[in-house]
Chains A and B, each alone.
Chain A
Amino acid sequence: MRPYLQHPLTRLWLVLLLATVLSWWLGSDKPVASHQAGVLTAVSILVVAIIKCRLVIRNYMEVRFAPSWLQWTCDAWLLLNFAMVSSFYWFAI
C-alpha cells in the first residue's frame, strides 16, 4: 500500500483538500464590506471549485493524456460554467 500512498495522485488529493478548506473558509459567514465584495467572494469560491474540477478531470480522469478533442470539450464545459455562473453574480442583481 505504501507506494500507492506516496503516489502523485495522493499528493494531488492533498492539494484538493486544501483547496476545499480555502473555499469553505471563503464561504463561511463573515461580514461583507459591500455588495461588490460579496460578489468577489462568491466568484472566488467559484474559481476554486472550477480549478478543483479541472484537476480531477485532467489527473484522476486522465484527460490530460486523452485526445485533444476531449481535452477541449472538458475545458469548454468548465469555461461555460464559469462564464454562466459568474455572469449571474455580476450582472443579475
Chain B
Amino acid sequence: MHGLEAPVMGGATSRRLPGDVNIWVFVIGDMLIFSAYFAAYLFADRVGNHELFLQSQQYLSQNLGFCNTLILLTSSLFVALGVHAARLGDFAVASRFLELAGACGVVFLFVKAYEWYSKLVGGLTISTNAFFMHYYVMTGVHVVHVLIGLTFLIVLWRELRGAPTPRMELVEAGGIYWHMVDFLWFLIFALLYLMR
C-alpha cells in the first residue's frame, strides 16, 4: 500500500524492529500455535465428518461474526493511530485512541458473549458435537487473547498518561499484540463462519 510512510524516529527513517524481540518471539509462537489448532479443526472437518460440520455451521451467525470483524478492525486502526500519535509526542491524543480501541475490544466481548448465550440457550454446548467443541474452544482461546490485549492496552494507557517520557518500545509492543489478536480473528472468522 503506497502512502504509508516509514515510522519517523528522531527525524530519520531506517529499517528497525518494531517493539522488541521478546514480543515478536511471543507473537510468532502464538501464530504457530493457532496454525496447529487450525490444522486440528480442518482435520476433524474435512477428514472426519464434513456433513456434520456443514450442518452445524448453519447455526453460527455470519452477521455477528462480520460485525465482530469490523469492530476488531476498527480497534486495530485506533491502536495504529495511537502508536503514531505517541511517536509524534501527542500523548493525550494517543491515549484517547487507546481508549477508543479498548472500547471496541469491550464491544467485541459483549457481541461474543451474546453469540455464545444464544447458542447455549438453544442447547448448542461444547459437548453437542465435534464442531461446537472446536467452535467454543477456538473462539474461547481467542477471547482470552482479547482480554490479555485489553490488559495490555490499560498498561499502555497508564504509560502514556503517567510517565514523563513514555517508553515507545512498550507502546509498540502493545500495539503489535493487539494487531495479532485482530488478524487471528480474520482467519477464525473465515474458517469457522464463512468457508463451507
- On whether the beta carbons of A81 and B183 are closer than 8 Å, the reply is no
A52→B176 CA distance, assembly (Å): 15
Given A24-B66, A53-B183: A9 touches B17 (CB 8 Å cut-off) = no
Of chain A, the residue at the smallest CB distance from B79 is A60
| Known contacts A12-B1, A67-B17, A4 near B70 by CB under 8 Å | no
Distance from A66 Cβ to chain B, minimum over Cβ atoms (Å): 6
Query: Hey, what's the 0/1 contact readout for A27-55 against B, CB within 8 Å counting as 1?
Result: 11000100000100110011011101101
Residues of A contacting B69 in the complex (Cβ-Cβ under 8 angstroms): 20, 24
Query: With A24-B62, A27-B193, A62-B18 known to touch, is A81 a contact of B38 (CB < 8 Å)?
Result: yes
Chain A residues bordering chain B, tally (CB within 8 A): 53
Contact between chains at A61 and B73 (CB < 8 Å)? no
> With A and B bound together, what is the CA distance between A12 and B77 in angstroms?
9
Query: Which interface class (under 10, 10 to 19, 20 to 34, 35 or more) fits B?
Result: 35 or more
- A49-B189, A93-B50 known; A42-B196 Cβ under 8 A: yes
Question: How far apart are the CA atoms of A64 and B2 in the complex, in Å?
Answer: 12
Provide the B4-37 mask, 1 if CB < 8 A to any CB of A, else 0: 1111000001011110000010001001100100
Flag if A49 contacts B187 (CB, 8 Å). Answer: yes
Flag if B31 contacts A41 (CB, 8 Å): no
Asked if B56 lies at the interface with its beta carbon under 8 angstroms from chain A, I say no
Q: Does B80 contact A (CB under 8 A)?
A: yes
Decide if B42 touches A9 in the complex (CB within 8 Å): no
Complexed CA–CA distance, A59 and B127 (Å): 40
Partner of A63, one of B18, B35, B46, B76: B18
Given the interface pairs A4-B84, A9-B84, the reply to whether A49 lies near B186 with Cβ below 8 Å is yes
For the complex, what is the distance from the CA of A30 to the CA of B30, rounded to whole Å?
34
Best-surrounded residue of B6, B28, B81 (most CB of chain A within 10 A): B81
A30 and B70 alpha carbons, distance in the complex (Å): 22
Question: Contacts A45-B190, A45-B194, A61-B180 given; 13 further ones with Cβ under 8 A?
Answer: A7-B81, A20-B73, A46-B195, A50-B187, A52-B186, A53-B187, A61-B179, A65-B13, A65-B18, A66-B16, A70-B24, A77-B28, A77-B35
A interface with B by C-beta (< 8 Å):
1, 4, 7-13, 15-17, 20, 23-24, 26-28, 32, 38, 41-42, 45-46, 48-50, 52-53, 55-67, 70, 73, 77, 80-81, 84-85, 88-89, 92-93
